[in-house]
Structure formats: C-alpha cells, structure tokens
Amino acid sequence: MKFVKNALGRLVPDEVNGQKQIPFKGVGKHRPTGRKHAPMISSCIDYPADGNKMLTSIKDALKKCGLKNGMTISTHHHFRNGDLVAQMIFDAAAELGVKNLRWAPSASFECHSSLIKYLEDGTIRHIEGSMNGALGRFTSEGKMKGIGILRSHGGRYQAIQDGELKIDIAVIAAPTADPFGNATGDRGPAACGLLGFALADSQYADKVVVVTDNIVPFPCIPWQIHGNYVDFVVKIDKVGISEKIVSGTTEITKSPDRLLLAEWTAKFCDEAGIIQNGFSFQAGAGGTALSIGIYFADILRERGMKSRWARGGSNKYLVKMMEDGLVDYILDGQTFDLEGVRSMRENPGHVNTSPFTSYNYHGKGNFASMIDVVILGATEVDVNFNANVVTHSDGCLLHGIGGWQNCIFSKCTILPIPLFRDRIPVIRDACTTICGPGELIDVIVTERGIAINPLRKDLIAKMKNSNLPIKTIKQLKDEAEAICGKPDNPEFTKDPVAIIKWVDGTVIDTVWKIKK
Amino acid sequence: MSTIAIAGNKGKGVRSDCQISVSLTKNKGLEITLDSKVKTMYGRSIVELTEKIFNFFGIKNAQVLIEDSGALEFILAARLEYAIKQLIKTDLEFLPEFLKENKDVTTKDRSRISRLYLPGNSPSLMINAGIHNTDGLILDIEDAVAPAKKDEARYLVRNALRALNFYGAERMVRINQGERGLIDLEFIVPHYVNLILIPKCENASQIHSIDAKIAEIKKLHKMKHNVWYMPIIESAQGVINAYQIATASENVVALAIGLEDYTADLGTKRTNEGTESFFARTMLVNASVAAGVQPIDSVFSDVFDMEALKQNVLKSKGLGFVGMGCIHPRQIRVLHEYFAPDSDEIEKAKKIVLAFDDATAKGLGVVSLGTKMIDPPVVKRAMKSIDTAIAAGKLQKDWKKTEMERMADEAVSKKK
C-alpha cells in the first residue's frame, strides 16, 4: 500500500483491502468509464411459480444464499437505533462458522455496538458504510482487521452501481411484505416510512432476502421493493423496536443558543433572497434544523408564498407545512417520526425517494444539486470552509457521512453550528478529517457571527448592508481560540483505519489510528 | 491523614465545568490526574495551568484530581484556587487576564429594560449568555447558589467578571444579604462590576454600609470607577422605605421589586392580576421617579408562556416601570418589544424631536409643536423613546432622513 497526496493535499492510500483506489481529483474532475455492475441473470425455473418464497429462519436463508467465508452482506438503517436484524444475521453467520465477512450497512447505529464481538472473533473482517459510536472508537483504535470505508448515501449507491462494492447477500428488513418479496416501509408494527436505502442492494446484489414481521397476502401495496428482485422472504417475530425507529431529534430546540442559530440562518436566507415563491429547501433532523423549518414556514405564511418542494427526512413540522399548503411536495429520503410515516401513506404529494434519485453522482443528474438551500451540520470546519462530519477533534471516528456530501451540491449550503462545544472549537485551522471540500460550502452560521465563503461574491454583495453579524471565517476561528484556547491536535500512527470516499468513488481523506 | 478539598461540579448534565479534588502530601511532588473529555485537545494546557497555579500558591506536594467536562481556563482556575484555599491560608489571588472591554463603565441612565439572571456557580449558562442582547447580565450568588456552594461561586464570578465576554451587556452581580454580601463585594468591586443588585433591601442604612465598604475597597485598590446599585425591594418594610432607599446614595440607579418574597411577607399569594402587589408596585414607581432612578419590575416566572409575559410587560409599562428581570433568554426579546414605545408613542416622539431640531436650527430657545410649547423634559423623554424604538428594531436608525424626504414629497404634492 502506497500513500499519495490527493487534490486537497490529504495523504490517501492507493489500495485498500486489496482494491485499487483513486485519489480525489477535485470537484467534478473524475469522469467514470465503462458499464455498470450487473447481477447474475435469474430464471423463473428456480423460483416457485406460486410466488411463495417464504423460509422459516434467517439462518436458513443465509445457507440457501450460499453464504461463504469472505462474502459481503448488506443491511440498511431504516430502523435506525431500533434495528434488530443485523444482529440476527451475524448471530446466524457465527453459528454457521463463517469468517471474514464484509458488512456493508447503509449506516450503523449505537444498537450495533454488540457486533464488536464478531469483529473481534473474525466473523466480520471489516465494515463498509459507517462506523458510529462504539464501532467508530473500535475502528479508530485500530482494532478492526480490514480498513473501513465510509461512503455517503449517494456514494453507496454509486459504489454498488459501479461495482466497487459488490454485494453477495442483501438482507432487507421490511415492516411489511408479501410472500413474493414485495415490501413496504409505510405500514406494519415497525413502520419506518420508506426503504429507499435498500434500492441499490435489491437491484445489484447477487442474492436478496426480505425479512419482515408482518406478512400480508400478495400483493403488498405499495411495493417500495419489488419482489421480482427478491430470492427469499423470512418471517420473524420482530424486526425492530418501533420507539427507537423514529428516534431522530423530533422536537424543535428549546436551547436559546440554537434558536439564535436557527433565527439567523432563516434571516440570512431571507435577506439573501433565497426564500421566494416556489423555492426548495432541505433541513435535517436536528433541533436547530427543525427550528429553521419553522422560521421558513412563518415567512412563507406571512407573505402568502409557498415552497415547490422540500427534501426530507420528514417530520411532523414539515408534514404540517405541507398540510397547511406551504409546500407542494416532500421528496422524502427517510421519515423521522410517525407523522412522517402517516403522511407518506396518506398524502400523494409526500413521495418516497432513494439515494438513486436524490444523491447518486454517477447518474444523469440528481435532486441534491437542484435544491435552493440546504441546512447541514459539521463537527469541524477549517478556515478554507472544508468540513468534517465523521471524526471529532480528538481524532475518533464517531459518525457516518449520511447524505451530507451529496447535499453540499445544493445552490446554497449553510452550516449552522456553535462556534465551540464544551470548549472544543468547531472552526479550526485544519480539520481532523475532510469530508467535503470548502468550495461547496457557502455559509457558516455561528452564535458569534456568520461567515460567507469568499467564493460566493454574490452572497457577500447581497449581505453587504445586513444587520446580521457577518465576519470572516478567520475572525470566527480567532474568536473561538480566544475563548477556548488553541487546541492541540490528536496524535496518530501511520496506520490507516478507514478511508472517506467522495461522491464519485475517489478517496478524499484517510482516518488514522489513534496513538494511545 | 490529609484532608481532601473539593471544588466545582461533575456528573451527569454538568458541562463546561470541572471538579477538583486536592490533598496535600509530604514530599511526592505534584501528582496530577486528569480525566477530561477534552484531554486530547487541552490535556497539556490543563496540566500546565494546574502547575502554574500550584506554583503561584507555593504548593510543591499535592495530589490533584481534575474531573473536567470542558471547563474554560478561567473556570478551571477558579475551581483550582478555591480548592487550594480550603487547605492553606493566603491572601494571594490567581487572577485571569482582564478582557479589555470588561473594564468599560456604564452610565447612570443607560437602558435597563432587560437583565438576565444567571446562577453564579453554573459556568455553562454564563458562556453564551452575552449573545442574547440583554441590557444586563446578572451573576447571581444569592438565591441561585446553594448555601454550601456560595464560597466557591465568588471565585467563579470574580473570574467571569474579568475573562467572560459580556458582549456589551452591563455586568451585574446580585450579592448576598448582610455580612456575606459585604464580603462578596471584595470579590467583585476590584474587577469592575458595573452594578450590584442588593437583595431584600429594607432601609437606607443597608445602602450606607455597602457604600462604605465599596469606598474602602476602591481606596485599597486605588480605583475610581462608579459602581451602581439596584436595590431590590422585597418586603413591606422596604416598600414603605422605598424613597429613602432610592436616595440613600448617589450610586442608586434603579429600584427593583421582588414580588415572590413581598407577597410572602404580606402573607398573601402572588396572582396574575397582581392586585395584592398593586400598592407596592405603584409605590416603587413613585419613589423611583421622585428620586430620579429607574423603576424596575419583578421577573415573570413562566418561561414558556410568551403571551402572558407580553401582557405582564404591557401592564408593567402602564404602571410606569421601565424594565424587568428575565430568567430565560427567550424572555429578553418580548421585554424589548413591549417596553419599547408603541407606534403612537413613536410618532409623537418623532414630531417632538423634529420640532426640537427645527428650533435648534433656528436658534430658538423654546420648542413648540403647533400651538403647544414643549418642555425640555418632554423633549428628553421623546429622544429616549426614539433610542429605545431604534434599539428594539421598531424604527430605522436613519428615520430623520426618511421623514425629511416624506415631508418634502408631501410639500411637492401639495403644490401640485
């Protein structure tokens, strides 16, 4: 394994887990060639004509899928922190004595910390997806056998489509399914809204298993996942813990500091002329983002305007905006609360989308770049507006990328973030890890001032006479350091523990092992 | 057996603070154990600061345990100093660097519409308090600090007065009652506190003893700056003596009323209508106005009911109060919005100010509006209303220009 400097000057490996890697070349600089990956041709000869693909256990399904050492199993995070299925899969794999598996979740959560024992005993070799919480710490300490790969939601679709991430067995946990394998997320005891993160897996994996606790007779309508892609259907007692499924931050913030961030962000959007009749927006699930949505709603209502479309994750506030006639369409990637799930079932304008439609960079366009404004977070931003969402300033891997990298292609990307969190400055000379290049990040809103990327001369001109506290990012960094003191950087060894993929499959940065 | 001195806070929900445990040893040197969530970024600097402070107090042998949840340096220093001072007797003080702006003094008649109470021993609530645009920030070491924590809070408040950015808010401290309050002054007066809230004030002699103590401290430190007082009237006795209290010292700038204690003193209950405190409030307004100080109303305790707060503010303003206390930043804006003049008042004030400008330009000694003569205090009040309206965002800074243009336009259209 050799290391090369990529276009951002970050040292990245040219090969990971035996696969050749391309260093990040710059935004819009890498053009892929060739054809997409394709699964084997199937035939109805091998499937029951009556459409009944039911098996009695996950273990049985894995055996029938031909599970072997070294294979790749994928799962999805529709159940978020309430997922029970990933655990069952690897329990079964361990019982079957299989080793060196590659786990490719669309995201991991704290509930997956229990899989560490399978990383330790060699059942799982490494993870490609995200490594959150305890899994992140485990990875950062260099305990994972292979090198982790982190991808955005769009990057995951791209990697599966392009054949970079070949999935042997995809296990799709579904709130409702029929015996043929048609499946939906919008109903059932573990209703989670939609199953978009599993779309790529259903299309490209060699074997596809649907696992559900709610079998309905054929046809399962709507069929968010087509049974025609599915090999087996397994009915189990319980796929997820429903109260943990809708566990995103679903209440607007009561913190006065965050409310200030939300208010300034909304004001900024208004003064910059972003909020107009027919505009589009995306605000995430955090308390601050939710509050920004409420400010947007107030402005629209007051002026008799409406938004043409908003991107989810949806929640009760966004749903209310739609039901109050302030938004025509919600193009939803995931539902963060039960109101979101209900609305998706009931409102024709609340449409389920997938990383293919919204985020995939190797497609014929995607929705993310069409949106007028997106509100995101970050753990660190450097003085060149490069930002980090996966590691903390102590060097530890703690979060996944989610749709963040994909979303920063919007027409205006705003990060409302505190200047420091419990003494840890968020704006720094350099990020511990770069997940997104600064040229795509337009505005940083902190409680002590707002910095506009110098590349956005248009925004700077529009805000020239604003009463909002516009500062340079360097001023903000200095202010943070004056309050907190200048932080030391974490010390790393020369061993990579994970790489961060950019939306086009190139390597934007490396996560290094923490020195004890 | 050596005793262990403890300072600060730790545990679930504690942020931006630390707990220090120190015991003196014979000859083992300084043994520092650091457990910190920011160890990677600040472990080195925390240890350096600890060594510096122990060295400053001449302690060579001690076991120090620091359990840190992201405390800023001035907070760490306050906790370390208080831990040390439980073990040794010394007059030395380890003072953090003074922020330049924290030496600013305030004027007697500055706006005091809002003042936000902050518990004096809770660093996490202090750090961002200044960004919420309140007129004053009160570091409260009286009722907001548990009796057992009152000593250590003094060090934190002292350090905050020096190192915490108040972003232009008046730097206020509510001291304790009686003798403890006088000692509190030693921790805050040398550090340019702008205003002292004097709780449960009942008579002029309390003000006199504070006056004397402050004079003594200022002399000792060779300081000349003004320290203002806002006595809080919280009893029947205090209400009756309000005028004497307001005039007890040149440094009294406002009288505030505390209705929880007042109603308890009367043996009645505080109601939303406030009938039981009507006399006290109007008495306080009258005493303040007669003494030329600002009458300030009690805090409103339901931090989620903004509509009730608004009604309360309007009633308060109607009685003659010019400000109110806040216990949550979200209340600040409501206060500024509704204590500020309404549109009728603004229009009237604009006319008076323009008439004044006109008279000044013409070199006239008398200001008149139509057939009415305008007295100087009315002009002054109108100017103040304009300032308040601008500060509340109800009036553009350059309103005069706009007004002139409008009048010119009107003149033109009349000619046509």
Q: Note whether A448 contacts B131, CB cutoff 8 Å.
A: yes
Contacts of residue A383, Cβ cutoff 8 Å, sequence gap at least 6:
A427, A428, A429, A473, A474, A477
Query: Do A276 and A149 belong to one domain?
Result: no
Q: Which tokens in the block code for residue B271?
A: 């109601």
**Per-residue pLDDT tens digits for B322-366:** 999 999 999 999 999 999 888 898 999 999 998 888 888 888 878
Residue A120: name the closest of A101, A140, A143, A103 by CA.
A143
* The two structure tokens encoding residue A482: 């004056």
Residues 6 or more apart from B390 whose CB is under 8 A from it?
Answer: B396, B397, B399
Check: CB of residue B231 under 8 Å from CB of residue B251: no
The predicted model gives B66-94 an average pLDDT of 97
Question: How far is residue A272 from each of residues A181, A290, A304, measured CA to CA in Å?
Answer: 48, 20, 19
A 417-446 residues inside an 8 A Cβ radius of B:
421-424
Domain B5-85 of CATH type 2.40.50.140: no
Would residue A486 count as lying in a domain? yes
Whether A197 is in a domain gets the answer yes
Q: Are residues A233 and A303 in the same domain?
A: no
Q: What is the mean pLDDT of chain B?
A: 94
Pair (A134, A280) in one structural domain: no
Per-residue HEC secondary structure of A352-418 comes to ECCHHHHCCCCCCCCHHHHCCEEECCCCEEECCCCEECCECCCCCECCCCCCHHHHCCCCCEEEECC
Lowest-pLDDT choice from A202-206, A402-406, B59-63, B401-405: B401-405
Output the domain CATH number for residue A92: 3.40.1080.10
Residue B100, C-beta contacts closer than 8 angstroms, at least 6 positions apart = none
- Same domain for A149 and A224, yes or no, is yes
Let me know whether A175 and A320 are in one domain.
Answer: no
Q: Per 3-state DSSP, what percentage of chain B is helix, strand, and coil (rounded to 5)?
A: 50, 15, 35
Instruction: Tell me the shortest Cα–Cα distance from A469 to chain B, in angstroms.
Output: 11
**Enclosing H/E stretch for B381:** helix B376-391
Tell me the shortest Cα–Cα distance from B81 to chain A, in angstroms. Answer: 19
CA distance A302 to chain B (A): 18
Between CA B322 and CA B235, with CA B330 as vertex, the angle to 5 degrees is 45
Question: Model confidence over A347-376: pLDDT tens digits?
Answer: 999 999 999 999 999 999 999 999 999 999
pLDDT single digits (tens) A41-69: 999 999 999 999 999 999 999 999 999 99
Query: Which residues 4-33 of A are in CB contact (within 8 Å) with B?
Result: none
Distance of CA B385 to the CA centre of its chain: 22
Indicate whether B1 pLDDT > 50: no
What count of CB pairs under 8 Å joins A to B?
58
Angle at B330 between CA B329 and CA B334, to 5 degrees: 115
pLDDT for B222-263, tens place per residue? 999 999 999 999 999 999 999 999 999 999 999 999 999 999
pLDDT at A248 over 60: no
User: Chain B contact for A465, CB < 8 A?
Assistant: no
Asked if A423 lies within 8 A of B39 by C-beta distance, the reply is no
User: Does residue A103 contact residue A128 with C-beta atoms inside 8 Å?
Assistant: yes
Architecture in CATH of B100-339: Alpha-Beta Barrel (3.20)
Looking at the domain assignment, is residue A118 inside a domain?
A: yes
Is B42's CB within 8 Å of A485's CB?
yes
Q: Considering only CB atoms, which residues of chain B are within 8 Å of chain A?
A: 15-16, 37-45, 69-73, 127-128, 131-132, 165, 328-330
Among chain B residues, the shortest Cα distance to A483 is held by B72
Global pTM value:
0.93
Residue A46 lies in a domain: no
Find the CB nearest B38 among A395, A423, A483: A423
Residues A479 and A417 in one domain: yes
Closest-CA distance, B236 to chain A, in angstroms, reads 36
Where along chain B do its domains lie? 5-85, 100-339, 343-415
Q: Are residues A198 and A304 in the same domain?
A: no
The verdict on A224 and A365 lying in the same domain is no
Q: What is the pLDDT of residue B361?
A: 87
- Shared-domain flag, residues A235 and A273: no
- Whether B5-85 and B100-339 share one fold: the answer is no
DSSP-assigned beta bridge partners for residue A501: A507
Q: How far is CA A242 from CA A58, A80, A198, in A?
A: 21, 10, 19
Residues A426-439: what's their mean pLDDT?
Answer: 97
Residue A29 lies in a domain: no
Give the pLDDT of residue B157.
98
- Calculate what percentage of chain A has a pLDDT beyond 70: 99
**A241 and A189, same domain (yes or no):** yes
Provide the domain limits for residue A423: 256-490
CA pair distance A210, A179, nearest whole angstrom: 9
Model confidence at B407, pLDDT cuts 50, 70, 90, reads confident
Tell me, yes or no, whether A218 lies in a domain.
yes
pLDDT in tens, A126-177: 999 999 999 999 999 999 999 999 999 999 999 999 999 999 999 999 999 9
Looking at the structure of chain A, the number of domains it has is 2
Tell if the CB–CB gap between B165 and A394 is shorter than 8 Å.
Answer: no
- Pair of tokens at residue B237: 């006795």
Query: Given this model, what pLDDT does residue A285 score?
Result: 73
**Any chain B CB within 8 A of the CB of A298?**
no
A60 and A105, same domain (yes or no) = yes
Interface test with B, best of A263, A396, A423, A483 (most B CBs within 10 A): A423
Looking at the fold, whether A263 and A407 belong to one and the same domain comes out as yes
A394 touches chain B (CB under 8 A): yes
A124 vs A19: CA distance, rounded Å? 18
Whether residue A262 is contained in a domain is answered as yes
Bigger pLDDT: A421 vs B372:
A421
Q: Cβ of A447 and B128 within 8 Å? A: yes
